[in-house]
Amino acid sequence: MRILSVRPACGRAPVHGRRLGSLFVLAAALLAVAASAAEVDAGAVPDTIKQRLTACTACHGEQGRATNDGYYPRIAGKPAGYLYNQLHNFREGRRQYPMMTYLVDHLSDAYLQEIAHYFADQHPPYPPPQPPDPSNATRARGEVLVNKGDPAKKIPACIACHGSAMTGVLPTTPGLLGLPRDYLVGQIGAWKNGARHAVAPDCMAQVVQRLSAEDIGAVASWLAAQPVPADATAAAPGTAKLPLACGSIPLPPANP
């Protein structure tokens, strides 16, 4: 039996050879484009902590100053220990917010510390306070709870932990001025219904369980309406005796 061979016309490669050649050319072109784009990107986008935290400022605003949507909090200037604790809480599931969990889920403790210190070092100006609650009774109740608490309900004053000026206490207690009312209500409510937790013993969870819905609204409204001092800084640690044990606040070293 005679076997016939089919030869390509002179000067032309077989069909499969032409296809492979085209693929090689296309691959080489794509690699060249990618290399060129990488060179452009390397020159245009510096590898800095500021650039890497662009995902954070998309919600929290430039430098972490907060946006005007009334929910995302200001993180600029907060104590680094507090910011680290919150990032750690999101990663470990004590706080629930899918976007935050996705961002920090695979980050190391060292990188969370780096993020916390970056935003703690930012000090952009604060926005003007929100309008006060029109109800005199609500304003009065909020002011009393913040500055004196309610002994009958075993509610300590907010200033007992957050500082006499409500600007925070180093190293891990945040200031509560300059935050939107909606955010404050949302976070206190999250503690109230068990959606937000801190390291045990969770002192905020204990306090919040003693607050009524009206109390929460009064505290949030009063705080949001207060102007922030021009020189707002967190107070030095150990300036006041805490009314409750708080797992998020490190104990001072014992006397030898």
Q: What is the pLDDT of residues 76-125, one digit of tens each?
A: 999 999 999 999 999 999 999 999 999 999 999 999 999 999 999 999 99
- Give the pLDDT score at 252: 61
Distance, in Å, from the CA atom of 86 to the CA atom of 102, rounded to the nearest integer, reads 14
The CATH 1.10.760.10 portion of the chain extends over 47-125, 127-249
Q: Report the topology of domain 127-249.
A: Cytochrome Bc1 Complex; Chain D, domain 2 (1.10.760)
- Give the pLDDT score at 13: 40
Distance, in Å, from the CA atom of 92 to the CA atom of 101, rounded to the nearest integer, reads 9
Q: Are the C-beta atoms of residues 240 and 208 closer than 8 Å to each other?
A: no
| CA distances, 169 to each of 23, 99, 164 (Å) | 63, 28, 9
Low-confidence stretches of the chain (pLDDT < 50) are 1-26, 28-30, 33, 36, 40, 256
Buried b (16+ CB within 10 A) or exposed e, 86-124: bbbbbbeebbeeeebeebbeeeeeeebbbbbebbbebee
- Give the pLDDT score at 38: 57
- Give the pLDDT score at 2: 38
As a CATH number, domain 47-125 is 1.10.760.10
Q: How many CB atoms lie within 10 A of CB 158?
A: 20
- Give the pLDDT score at 182: 94
- What crossing angle do the helices spanning 136-147 and 213-224 adopt, rounded to 10°? 90
Q: Which residues, 6+ apart, have CB-to-CB distance to 149 below 8 Å?
A: 155, 156, 157, 158, 160
- Give the pLDDT score at 67: 80
- Give the pLDDT score at 34: 58
